[in-house]
Chains A and B, each alone.
Chain A
């Protein structure tokens, strides 16, 4: 059964009603469970949670994370290869509608230069990003970029356009071990409004891309919703459900979840709702209890202060020192960025901060040798 079919079994209207009908006793009961059911997960996401219950939830989330993942945070950096894009996503700086953006796709020298920059800073895990413009930065281009970079990095993942199972397999063969692909919103009625044109307007093709990647044998799959686009609570619920589905179906694949959050008037786009720090904290903790083994990722999109406070509550991976414009690390002005980041600290500053907080920064937690890369 595809996740699309499972999604139909949880209509948003029912879900919203349930989330608001939860009683304090329901939340207490869910907090006392060893293993959470879907119904328990709904209880822990409920806006009815009080401060004491949230504190208890955070305590459990901290304990589970510390035991399962230890006192370590894995660091990675994004490398933007291209900002060319045919999609019209209303909230994204790369949107084809954005005629002011200087378009750029990195050539070989520029890819190597950006790679060298990140390598010098200590990164061994990087995430390659593009928009969706196959003639400029398609599968062939990605394959070539991976070959250029693989000697320097122990893990290369992609956050690009959804592709076929065969294409995922092709990239896996050259050394891509992970995929990040965010559904943005699981709300099928809202989705076409936000993605009015371009290949991304196909909700289902995007929704099922992680399944094709799982079938292709990718080792890590990251999903997420862009919180604030739609109703953040239902989107958070569907993200958890989606992650659990992928974990069950692809039992050899590590699934992780990201929590990108829209901020007020980002890029001129007014979010439907602003997710507060309290709400974000609650949903991260609720997901940790629902999926004790999932990787939970926080990006530099969030402020330094909030990232520091969320550290012990379930987060296992962080980006650091990020730039979201192609060529932005080395020399380029960085005026072609996708979104503005909030945490401007350098990777070294992040490492020191982690140490102060009692966490070891992990730069390398993978080896190309797993995939048969240079032996």
Chain B
């Protein structure tokens, strides 16, 4: 499959995985392995970033995966920036998944604070991957500010509801010059495939893998869903029509002279 390029770095997988909610570190590790992902995101609030012996970090092979720290739990730009700096000071690469989610319930991203934080972090040399509402104007503004991806939500985090913001994500994909990663709300491999068929460059999943009896099998299922969707996008989906159209024309014989 063609590779995904973010900030000049090539990735073979178009599936990113979140590390929250798993029943054990080994379940997480196994799901990650089966999914074929190369980028995993970890909430900074969950890890002791200054401690290499931290239980969760130990389970993430840094040779195999790009560890993408995220700022989940940050309520405003200032807090997110502080967390990002903390991660870099502790030796993480300057990649940050920016999450500013002031309400602890729906965990929806704050567009104003997200843009504000992105501007500061980009100036400081971070590669910023912002979790964002599926708002095409905000997408333009973030891209203009210099983020390396756009990560619009398909549905609120953890809801497994699929591409509820489909029409807006289609506009974002159409307009973007940087990779669009559908993040949050994808609950089934078919949702992931749908996002990829639309032309999303990648997807990120977490709850769908963590909240199942068999995270490993689900990891593999998402891998295939993402690959199938990407291949279909590359092949070009046929147009949808209201009426049936035979694959071999029924009236072709009339034209055979």
Contact = CB atoms under 8 A, between A and B. Distances in A.
Interface of A: 66-72, 124, 154, 219, 247, 251-254, 293, 355, 358-360, 362-367, 369-370, 372, 375
A369 B102 CA distance: 16
B56 to A, nearest CB: 9
A45 B20 CA distance: 32
Given A67-B211, A362-B46, A370-B45, 18 more contacts: A68-B158, A70-B211, A71-B22, A71-B211, A72-B22, A154-B48, A355-B24, A358-B23, A359-B23, A360-B22, A360-B24, A366-B45, A366-B73, A367-B83, A369-B86, A370-B74, A370-B79, A375-B82
By secondary structure, the B interface counts as loop
| SS of A interface (majority) | loop
A70 B23 CA distance: 7
Contacts of B47: 364
Contacts of B207: 67, 70
A354 B105 CA distance: 25
Nearest to A155: B45
B149 to A, nearest CB: 24
B224 interface: no
Nearest to A357: B23
Contacts of A364: 45-48
B79 A375 contact: no
A240 to B, nearest CB: 15
A360 B23 contact: yes
B210 interface: yes
Nearest to B102: A252
B25 to A, nearest CB: 7
A213 to B, nearest CB: 15
Contacts of A372: 78, 82
A370 B188 CA distance: 33
Contacts of A253: 104
Contacts of A358: 23-24
A72 B211 CA distance: 10
Given A71-B21, A360-B22, A372-B82, A252 B45 contact: no
21 contacts: A68-B158, A70-B22, A70-B207, A70-B211, A154-B45, A154-B48, A252-B102, A252-B103, A252-B104, A254-B104, A358-B24, A360-B22, A360-B23, A364-B48, A367-B44, A367-B73, A369-B79, A369-B83, A369-B86, A370-B75, A372-B82
